[in-house]
Structure 1
């Protein structure tokens, strides 16, 4: 990582994708959300693999924590929106020895 600007650009990019993911979840656009998750993971991995030897001032540290809080708040909201869907799916599978039958009933024979 070359500079503090690059460092914060990475966090800003993650926050932007996180916000897009939340909008997709609010619109029940689950396929879009899945696609955005790939981008999110790529950005997070790039941040993890970057040189983090950058020293931050108190103001910069506060900015970083605010970005992280925003990202975590989006993540929590996405989980809240996805939970009912996941609970319904889990209930369909509960008590059945043949998950493929449940999927076939959900999506029809193909």
Structure 2
């Protein structure tokens, strides 16, 4: 695979994965989302290696920016979906003298 093809294949993989992450967030599959985040980080690291020495034409640069916009839009939507849950957790833990009890009440653990 040539370097440009590899480069864009990695961006496409990240964009596809961010879409799967958004689906997991919409379905409140938070555990799945965490697993996908690990894969996302690996793909981003691999992209950094693929970027070395890649020169893009104007059309290719536009393609790259479109992919980045899509990834960032998914990320923003995920954050919007996660924010209420994170705020709720923060409220539960702030001032809690017994965090373990909060977890038991939240998850029904015994």
Same fold? TM cut 0.5: yes
Q: 1:28 to 1:108 in 2, by over 3 A?
A: closer
Q: 2:85 matched to 1:79?
A: no
The alpha carbon displacement at 1:14 in A equals 0.2
TM-score of the pair, normalised by structure 2: 0.92
Q: Is the 8 A contact 2:7 2:51 kept in 1?
A: no
Structure 2: 5+ residue stretches without partners: none
Q: For 1:52 and 1:29, locate their aligned partners in 2 and report how far apart those are by CA, in whole Å.
A: 35
Q: 2:45 matched to 1:35?
A: no
Q: 2:98 matched to 1:98?
A: yes
Q: For 2:80 and 2:13, locate their aligned partners in 1 and report how far apart those are by CA, in whole Å.
A: 23
Q: Is the 8 A contact 2:17 2:40 kept in 1?
A: yes
TM-score of the pair, normalised by structure 1: 0.92
Deviating 4+ runs (over 3 angstroms)? none
The alpha carbon displacement at 1:48 in A equals 1.6
Q: 2:13 matched to 1:13?
A: yes
Deviations 1:29-64 (Å, cap 9, x if unpaired)?
A: 111111111111110011123352111000000000
Structure 1: 5+ residue stretches without partners: none
